[in-house]
Amino acid sequence: DIGNALHSVATPGVSRETLERLDERVADAHDRIGTGIDGREHGYAALALPETADAEAIRTAVDPIDCEALLIVGIGGSALGAATIADALDVDIDVYTLDNVDPEYTSQLLDSLDLSRTALHVVSRSGTTAETLANFLVAREAMESVGVDWTERTLVTTGGEGNLRALAERHDLPALDVPAGVPGRFSVLSTVALPVAALGGGDVEGLLAGAGTEAETLSGSLFETPAYAYGATTYALAERGWTVNAMMPYAESLETFAEWFAQLWAESLGKDGVGQLPARALGATDQHSQLQLYRAGPRNAMVTLVRPRERADVTIPETELEGLAYLGGSSLGGLLDAEFEATEASLAAAARPSIRIELERVDAHGLGELLYGMEAACILAGELFSVPTFEQPAVEWGKRAARGLLGGGEFEEARAVEEKTRLV
């Protein structure tokens, strides 16, 4: 619902006429996206995953693994999708993510796990990312040190080449391929992130079916396509100075989704001096912190409010205090909905744009729809911004610099860091 992003006397958002003009560009972008999907072109191939992902192959790969906990070793697009699925869906294993290389956190986490009941899913599309390879080496040594055969508990997902592929081949590890043409941050509906659902008894087919339902809504008009309405409106708002996009789900289970979104939006669109800064928020918690800024700070922040229409609820008990009588007999869900609506209204009253996204419920189907819709929205926004959505040169710069500094190859980026350090 983009109603609160539309321009009115009170809200300097984006006018209906602007969106009608923009719709011609949306139609062209939709044609481009359709050609990309049909040709399985780099990046666009991600939007073909509801058709091309092989749920059966994923189930077969995880089948021999018997575990109570899963440690995902990956970073960025190779970790956030799985973490989002694990946190949103009711998976019946404990899931941990080793993405950062903070030594204190890594050793505390490894010490706390029963490694004989833990499986590793090591994920790197390039197979060369220093953080992921380093964490894998540390984790497998921790397993060896307690007499656990890590080769029996490790699943790899990687691209065609790279050090991770070489390790998988050398130790005969089960290995899934990252599908061709699917960049890291667009890989949630693939072998990169779906194994967590398969291992944890989650509904892999439901996720893909939800994504497929959303794919069917894509049409040549933003007025008929929710994902394009989101992508086009956020683009138009960013062009008019609303350069911060606070993603604020009203569901704890979607908190990691906001993190996933932040990566998708920042890494895909932040190029050539354009883009929109994604902020992560959680309703209602951040009504008591960040909302102050979004409502009364610089006039540059739009808010994306997300909520499920249905959820399990908890009744608030009656109370002996008259002052709290309004709570008794109501429910936590009712209170959360009231908070949601209050936030939306308070932003509108302060002439700050917001967009409302509702999903039926946070289940596999709903999550599949949401994730696919956001990817389509992002690709559409990338077309409108005219940026190379599927590249991430700034991220790659840092990766090469880190490898070079550790002696992992001759990289001019590492020399630039050394030169800068010398000057300091």
Active site residue ranges: 267, 288, 399
Q: In the window 264-293, what residues touch ligand PA5 (CB under 6 A)? A: 267
| End-to-end Cα spacing for the chain | 50
Q: Which stretch binds ligand PA5 (CB under 6 A): 11-19, 83-91, 181-189, 219-227?
A: 181-189
List the one residue from 11, 52, 84, 124 that touches ligand PA5 (CB under 6 A).
Answer: 124
* Residue (178 or 364) nearer to ligand PA5, CB: 178
* Residue (147 or 393) nearer to ligand PA5, CB: 393
In 3-state terms the chain splits into helix, strand, coil percentages (rounded to 5) of 55, 10, 35
List the one residue from 11, 118, 132, 225 that touches ligand PA5 (CB under 6 A).
Answer: 132
Q: In the window 337-376, what residues touch ligand PA5 (CB under 6 A)? A: none
* Residue (161 or 252) nearer to ligand PA5, CB: 161
Identify the H or E element spanning 95. strand 94-98
Q: What is d(CA 109, CA 94) in angstroms, rounded to the nearest whole number?
A: 13
Q: Which stretch binds ligand PA5 (CB under 6 A): 120-128, 277-285, 327-335, 351-359?
A: 120-128
Tokens for 77, please give them.
């697009």
Enumerate long-range contacts of 225-228, CB under 8 Å, 24 or more apart. Answer: 225/30, 226/357, 226/373, 227/372, 227/373, 227/374, 227/376, 227/377, 227/380, 228/26, 228/30, 228/376, 228/377, 228/380
Q: What is d(CA 230, CA 241) in angstroms, rounded to the nearest whole number?
A: 16
Q: Among candidates 206, 205, 285, which has minimal Cα distance to 252?
A: 285
User: Kind of pairing, strands 244-249 and 277-280?
Assistant: parallel
Q: What is d(CA 208, CA 54) in angstroms, rounded to the nearest whole number?
A: 10
List the one residue from 27, 93, 148, 395 that touches ligand PA5 (CB under 6 A).
Answer: 395
Would you count residue 125 as binding ligand PA5 (CB under 6 A)?
yes
String of contacts with ligand PA5 for each residue 57-86, x by CB under 6 A: ------------------xxxx--------
Q: How far is the CB of 123 from ligand PA5 (least distance, A)?
A: 6
* Residue (134 or 293) nearer to ligand PA5, CB: 134
Q: What is d(CA 267, CA 141) in angstroms, rounded to the nearest whole number?
A: 33
Would you count residue 179 as binding ligand PA5 (CB under 6 A)?
no
Residues that bind ligand PA5 (CB under 6 A): 75-78, 124-126, 129, 132, 183-185, 267, 392, 395
